[in-house]
Structure 1
Amino acid sequence: MKKSILACIFTAFFCTLAISQNLKKDIELKFGPAFKINKKTNLLDIIPLDNGEFITIEVYGRSGNGDFEFIHFNTNMQELNRGRIELKVDDEMHRYEQLIYENGDLYLFTSLGNSKEDYSRLYFQKIDLKTLSTNKIIAQVDEAYSKKGYSPFSLTFSPDKSKMLVYKVNSGDRKEKISYGVKVLDVTSNFTELWKQDLESDYSDELEDIEKIRVSNEGDIYLLSIQYKEKRRAKKDGEANYIYMLKEYSKDGDRVNQFPISLQGEFITDMTIGLNGNNEIVCTGFYSTIGTYGIKGCYYMLLDAKTKTIKKESKKEFSFDFLTANLSERKTKKAEKRKEKGKDIELANYILGDIVLREDGGVIQVAECYYITSTTYTDGNGMRHTSYQHHFDDLIVISISPSGNIDWTRKIRKSQTAPDSYNKYASYHLKVNGDKMYFFHNGNAENLLLGEKEAVKGWTLGKKGCGIITEITSEGYMRNDIFIDVAGYGLITYIRNSTNFDNNEVMFFGSYKKTNKYFKVILPED
């Protein structure tokens, strides 16, 4: 018995020592003062200002359906002032869309939908940074009210931030052709309208999914969609029953081009696009050889935005070791048997996340394993109840060189299961700092000590909870560390409510029991 106790003590000591040796010595944490929060409010966003100060947005009631409170903090994360803004205007309740800080000014975007008069309206208001109150509405965008009910506006910026695209789907019935309104604004001249157009697809909502929409520095629009043939099914006669279509709408309104994107002999299972500011379109994603849901490898294309010709193209099949990395020995042996039988091995449930366009012309693509499970039970009164769990697991990071070659792929191990109310703690946050990338997520400290074939342990948000940082260099070297934990700091990080400053700082909000603080992670100078 004594030997068992001594062994446990030694094991606990060894684990603590190993973890503490992993702590990153060159990362600094800076904390603001503790404060109380109103249980009736939810933190929506943190907006960094040019001078190192920041604005937070809190909403009363359900997200997007209550009054707002803007709070201004200084560089020491101390409150300077606050202002409350009512979203009920002329007896009509507005919805929050976005808060944007550009060119030293703060803009609030809200919307209003009126089904009786058949319109949806986006309002632009300027926020006074001294009083945190709104001035008069400076602009508005009107669109038809969707027959499916209220649908939000989408706002996106050009690579140089000089143009803003306002976009909204207006179609209702799934069998009707998709219609959407677009409007391009000049950010540098107080959001002056450059051009607008009502567009209609050749496909119905039932046969087309809009994936991404981007606006160029010149004000042209690029829209990526999936188009299905005849029926909404993934395969037909062993071939993909869909294509990825890239559409271009010119700022002059007189040019509409579209061209399909495909990989010879492969299923494209996911794709995203980006604009690099050089009149080039970056396409990255995953492909499969056996279906439309798994991923066997990654691909990259660089298109000339004017000629639509492919300037660079590459793809890379994931190695067996990469596909089975982090799997248990039992699952690895199962995969080996599939391989011996000549069957393909693929990953599943990965969705594309951040795409980073590097200054040297290279690209970083991030993907996350994400899926939802449900549990249904019947209570004593015969009522059925269903609960949903969101799973946020491993990350894949892909590096593409300026020449278009796929240099390396890496996995970040994590396992997060969360109900809807816990999504604020889940997923990841990315900060690019010089030639290094830093990924933040809530995890389990024991994962830092796991062997290659040991199963990843699920996260914990209790006393053993911790925030983990992963550093990846441009060469693909990785190291993992704990950047904050409940035991040492008494905080659990809201990963979803985090933001990057232009320098080497990342702002987080942390809370545990009755303690609430904002804090900064200061990364090494590049």
Structure 2
Amino acid sequence: MTSFKSQEHYIESLHLLKNKDRLVCVGFYGKKEEYRLNGVCMYDINPENLETNFNKFNNFSDEFMNDKYGNREGKKKRKKEKGINNVDFKGVYLMGNNDIVVNAEEFYITTHSYTDANGNWNTRTIYHYNDIMAMRLDADGNIKWARNINKAQVGTVNSSYTSLPIEESTHFFINCSDNVKKISADRIAFKQTSSKKSNLYVISIDGDGNFDYKKLIDDKESKVYYKVNDGVININNQSVFLLGERKRNGRILKLQVN
């Protein structure tokens, strides 16, 4: 048995990974007294006796924080929030070269109470799917790159994403509107859209941490929207399957990534 207690860090959301001869835990951490997330950590575990061979703690890079908050105008917000919270793993992978790919998302739920026209109290639950957090660690736990992709979505129908790592690149399949927004510091924000106007996009991050995006299917060309929050991936075959539906129409889409 091994313990992940730390005198210096608050550790959250560890994820266990194993391949033929390696066992690792990867997750997020922050300052113990603040309980916000400020970096990514990795524990290399001996699979025979479960003792820790070594660990590595990496603060989120300046590039990652600039992606999220911007350069100058984001400094006050970064200081005020003291880190990130409400992070949910979406895909964590131990690659063939022992790199670790971590894909996560800011996710939280809010509830709102109100009275209807008859004076009855009702409660509405809203699901929030915000920024994509993506990073790649080398075999020693050092960050090779870390990027934040800005988005804000609500509802479960066409929100969130499916990720697929292929060799040195990682691909994200999301629904968004035509109005991809360019914001400060060379950043891009993907905007919320309804299921009736869901355009299927792929965002790709290469081995150097550079990202690009491309529209795959326009809503005018499809009778369905695709459930990107529940895609099925095949890393060996470099493909992803997405279920599409709208009213009585149903489709299965296979995307092959070259």
Q: TM-score, normalised by structure 1?
A: 0.45
Aligned with 2:152 (options 415, 418, 435)? 415
Equivalent position of 1:261 in the other structure: 4
What secondary structure is seen at the aligned counterpart in 1 of 2:57?
strand
Equivalent position of 2:31 in the other structure: 289
Backbone CA RMSD of aligned residues:
2.7
Equivalent position of 1:383 in the other structure: 120
Equivalent position of 1:486 in the other structure: 219
Equivalent position of 2:237 in the other structure: 503
What secondary structure is seen at the aligned counterpart in 2 of 1:294?
coil
Q: Is 1:520 matched up with 2:254?
A: yes
Could you tell me which amino acid in structure 1 is paired with residue 77 of structure 2?
Answer: A
Q: How does 1:415-494 map to 2 (within 5 A)?
A: 415-418=152-155, 423-447=156-180, 449-452=182-185, 456=189, 458-461=191-194, 464-494=197-227
Q: Post-superposition shift, 1:381?
A: 3.1
Aligned with 1:313 (options 46, 52, 55)? 55
Equivalent position of 1:125 in the other structure: none
Is the CA contact 2:107–2:128 (under 8 Å) kept in the aligned structure 1? yes
Q: Post-superposition shift, 1:298?
A: 1.0
What secondary structure is seen at the aligned counterpart in 1 of 2:179?
helix
Q: Post-superposition shift, 1:495?
A: 1.5
What secondary structure is seen at the aligned counterpart in 2 of 1:306?
coil
Equivalent position of 1:273 in the other structure: 16
Q: 1:474 to 1:454 in 2, by over 3 A?
A: closer
What secondary structure is seen at the aligned counterpart in 1 of 2:16?
strand
For 1:489 and 1:353, the matched residues in 2 are separated by: 26
Q: How does 1:127-166 map to 2 (within 5 A)?
A: none
Is the CA contact 2:29–2:39 (under 8 Å) kept in the aligned structure 1? yes
Could you tell me which amino acid in structure 1 is paired with residue 253 of structure 2?
Answer: F
Residue-by-residue CA offset, 1:52-109 (whole Å, 9 max, x unaligned): xxxxxxxxxxxxxxxxxxxxxxxxxxxxxxxxxxxxxxxxxxxxxxxxxxxxxxxxxx
Aligned residues: 257
Q: 1:464 to 1:267 in 2, by over 3 A?
A: same
Q: Is 1:299 matched up with 2:32?
A: no
For 1:303 and 1:321, the matched residues in 2 are separated by: 29
Q: Is 1:371 matched up with 2:105?
A: no
Residue-by-residue CA offset, 1:368-397 (whole Å, 9 max, x unaligned): 100011111112333211011101111111
Residue-by-residue CA offset, 1:250-309 (whole Å, 9 max, x unaligned): xxxxxxxx331133411113312122231x321111111154641111111101122333
Residue-by-residue CA offset, 1:330-388 (whole Å, 9 max, x unaligned): 9615237x4xxxx7831222123321011111111121100011111112333211011
Could you tell me which amino acid in structure 2 is paired with residue 407 of structure 1?
Answer: K
Q: What are the ranges of 5 or more consecutive residues in structure 2 without an aligned counterpart? A: none
Is the CA contact 1:271–1:352 (under 8 Å) kept in the aligned structure 2? no
Residue-by-residue CA offset, 1:398-457 (whole Å, 9 max, x unaligned): 211123322221112221101xxxx24222112233332211111233225444477846
Q: How does 1:209-358 map to 2 (within 5 A)?
A: 258-278=1-21, 280-291=22-33, 293-327=35-69, 332-335=74-77, 338=79, 345-358=82-95
Is the CA contact 1:415–1:443 (under 8 Å) kept in the aligned structure 2? no
Is the CA contact 1:324–1:332 (under 8 Å) kept in the aligned structure 2? yes
Aligned with 1:399 (options 106, 122, 136)? 136
Q: Post-superposition shift, 1:472?
A: 1.9
The structure whose Rg is larger is 1
For 1:334 and 1:266, the matched residues in 2 are separated by: 23
Is the CA contact 1:269–1:294 (under 8 Å) kept in the aligned structure 2? no
Q: 1:292 to 1:275 in 2, by over 3 A?
A: farther
Could you tell me which amino acid in structure 2 is paired with residue 301 of structure 1?
Answer: Y
Residue-by-residue CA offset, 1:21-63 (whole Å, 9 max, x unaligned): xxxxxxxxxxxxxxxxxxxxxxxxxxxxxxxxxxxxxxxxxxx
For 2:33 and 2:188, the matched residues in 1 are separated by: 27
Q: Post-superposition shift, 1:494?
A: 1.4
For 1:415 and 1:331, the matched residues in 2 are separated by: 19
For 2:17 and 2:119, the matched residues in 1 are separated by: 51
What secondary structure is seen at the aligned counterpart in 1 of 2:64?
helix
For 1:431 and 1:272, the matched residues in 2 are separated by: 17
Q: 1:368 to 1:497 in 2, by over 3 A?
A: closer
For 1:430 and 1:316, the matched residues in 2 are separated by: 23
Residue-by-residue CA offset, 1:130-167 (whole Å, 9 max, x unaligned): xxxxxxxxxxxxxxxxxxxxxxxxxxxxxxxxxxxxxx
Q: What are the ranges of 5 or more consecutive residues in structure 1 without an aligned counterpart? A: 1-257
For 2:93 and 2:166, the matched residues in 1 are separated by: 12
Q: 1:301 to 1:393 in 2, by over 3 A?
A: same
For 1:415 and 1:489, the matched residues in 2 are separated by: 24
Is the CA contact 2:8–2:32 (under 8 Å) kept in the aligned structure 1? no
Could you tell me which amino acid in structure 1 is paired with residue 121 of structure 2?
Answer: R
Q: Which structure is higher in RCO with an 8 Å CA cutoff and minimum separation 6? A: 2
